[in-house]
A = this chain, B = another copy of it.
Amino acid sequence: MNKVTRRQILGSLGVSASVGLFSGCDGTLEASNEPEPKKIPTWRYVRLEPKAVASEAYRIMPKGGCMYGLVGSIIDALALVVGEPYRTFPVEMMKYGAGGVGGCGSLCGTLNGGAAMIGLLVADSKRRNNLITELFAWYESSELPVFRPQNAAKDEEMPKTVAGSVLCHISVGRWCKESGSDVMSPEMHERCSRLTADVTAKTVELLNRNLDPACTFTGLSAETKSCVSCHGQRELRDSMGTMNCGACHKLPKKHP
């Protein structure tokens, strides 16, 4: 293995030597394919109880948003049982996902968080995508929220809607239209807290199921499967993705 200087590696990554962090370094480093070898911690998953983790997600969601609520509740539960590396996972970073990432209304933060946890805990790419696909298809087609908090003051019924889309902009928009609430109302925030609990429970259910190597996942809805069977990765290959097509597209009259 060749010896290369730390300065050479830093130079290739554009790190300025002026940061002055190298006193005491002997200036040499083992070269490898990656810039520097890393310790690989074990992100071991143990079975959790979906309803209980969902309640915790509901509780902490107002502190940092939907993505933070989902990720924080699952990481905290695993930190209690497994300890490190979960205890020092930077949960706070997940505040970025609120309101469909920085408030822009793109991917719902609960789904971004659920997919991030699946990314952390499921190494096999095919299986990882299977879990994400079931989570997203379930979200698009389910009447939500169904979670009811135990807090007496908030334990009232709430309108439920089928989002029809994984996008925050559409999901929030449909619920607000149905409920007559505006997008900044306390009612909308309560709806998104409950939704965070629901998506947390579903994510934990999927991670539990995935502990069985022979488990199966439901896949895309029949409608989306029909569209992507031609437009997806096989025939026409002219469309990227598996989001519910009907959220934005209508079939033209002369569609084959």
Give the B-binding residues of A (Cβ under 8 A): 6, 9-16, 19, 21, 34-36, 38-39, 41, 43, 46-53, 55-56, 73, 76-77, 79-82, 85, 87-90, 92-97, 99-107, 111-112, 115-116, 118-120, 123, 125, 128-129, 132-133, 136, 166-169, 172-173, 176, 182-185, 233, 236-243, 248
Contact = CB atoms under 8 A, between A and B. Distances in A.
A104 B242 contact: yes
Copies in the complex: 2
Given A13-B48, A51-B14, A94-B119, A88 B41 contact: yes
A183 B183 CA distance: 35
B241 A96 contact: no
B103 A112 contact: no
23 contacts: A10-B80, A13-B48, A13-B80, A14-B49, A36-B79, A41-B90, A43-B93, A85-B90, A92-B119, A93-B120, A96-B128, A100-B107, A100-B241, A102-B133, A103-B129, A104-B133, A104-B243, A105-B242, A106-B107, A168-B240, A168-B241, A176-B240, A183-B240
Contacts of A82: 21
Given A36-B87, A77-B14, A241 B132 contact: no
Contacts of A48: 13-16
Nearest to A175: B240
